[in-house]
Structure 1
Amino acid sequence: MLRASVVGRRAASTLALAARTERLLAAKAASGKSFDQLASDLGTTNTYAAQLLLGQAKLTDATASKLKEALPGLDDADLRSMGTCPDRSYDPFVFQDPVAYRLKEAVCHNARSIKMIINEQCGDGIMSAIDMYLDVGTVKGRQGERRVVVTMNGKFLPFVEQRAEDNSCPAPHE
């Protein structure tokens, strides 16, 4: 019985998020603004502006007032709900979209090289996906073609030796 209750709440939450996302995207469309323009109004990257509207990022109080000004058609209840901690998940069907599939493919094909270069330049560690700026833009190629540029600017997080004396909360041992 409890499981059905949890599943029901998650389904209701998913539907509520989808409805809110539709309202937010409709307000953006009505404004005629691009994600680049919205990002400029908010002082964020274009990707973060999109994440806000899609429910993938938390709206801060400082940015909420800017968003209300940039998209005056927004409802105050939607703005309040955007200030709660989001459920940062994704629809697995997103990878059926050619853009998403190709991005995943590009990262997967280059992941080992990227890892080796990060390790060579920074040491043993990883790039944070939490403390990361993501921006998307275009440039002109050598033959005048449009080229897509995806910039991931992430904080380097070194792996540490797990020394017992540094563990401020050791696990209980019997």
Structure 2
Amino acid sequence: MKGSQSKANISSRLQIIKQKSGKIYNQIAEETGLTNVYVAQLLKRQAQLKSETVPKLRAALSDLPEELLHEMMQPPLRSYDPNLIQEPIVYRLNEAVMHFGESIKEIINEEFGDWM
């Protein structure tokens, strides 16, 4: 896949393939042995597809072309649209992390040691 293809373009193509399959994330997750969130991350190009997962994903989404599978195996293009925070669910999740984050961090440090 050429470098000129943007993350948004690739993600859009992957979403179209998912929609054409008629499957939801839970179905694809069940068929691949992955979690539904990980499947969503893969199809949004926020996670890297591992070579051992390719046959399972290809079976679950039979219209997935080789070029996109190859692209998905590259390091992820982690980023987000700054307007995403305006989405009510994302806003509330962010709010929850900010509210509980300090306490969760302290518990993690207590249980597993300081990460920094």
TM-score, normalized by length of structure 2?
A: 0.87
| Partner residue in 2 for 1:87 | 77
CA distance in 2, matches of 1:117, 1:85: 31
The structure where helix makes up a greater share of residues is: 2
AA at the equivalent of 1:67 = L
**1:70 positional shift:** 0.5
**What are the within-5 Å matches in structure 2 for residues 25-40 of structure 1?**
25-40=15-30
- Segments of structure 2 that go 5 or more residues without pairing to the other structure are none
Q: Does 1:64 align with 2:47?
A: no
Give how far 1:123 is off.
5.0
> Displaced runs of 4+ in structure 1, greater than 6 A?
none
Equivalent residues, number: 114
Counterpart amino acid of residue 48 in structure 1: Y
Cα distance in 1, alignment partners of residues 36 and 92 from structure 2: 20
Which deviates further from its counterpart, 33-42 or 45-54? Answer: 33-42
Amino acid at match of 2:80: Y
Cα RMSD over matched residues? 1.7
- After superposition, the Cα gap between the structure-2 partners of 1:123 and 1:85, relative to the gap in structure 1 and judged at 3 Å, is closer
Q: TM-score, normalised by structure 1?
A: 0.60
Residue 66 and residue 123 in structure 1: after superposition, are their counterparts in 2 closer, same or farther (change >3 A)?
closer
**In the TM superposition, what are the counterparts of 1:140-155 in structure 2 within 5 Å?**
none
Higher strand share: 1
Q: CA deviation at 1:118?
A: 2.5
Looking at structure 2, the residues matched to 47 and 60 of structure 1 have their Cα atoms a distance apart, in angstroms, of 15
- The share of aligned pairs that are identical, in percent, is 44
Partner of 2:114: 125
What is the CA distance between 1:99 and its match in structure 2? 0.8
Larger radius of gyration: 1
Unpaired runs of at least 5, structure 1? 1-9, 127-158, 160-174
For 1:60 and 1:112, the matched residues in 2 are separated by 33
Return the alpha-carbon distance in structure 2 between the equivalents of residues 59 and 117 of structure 1: 32
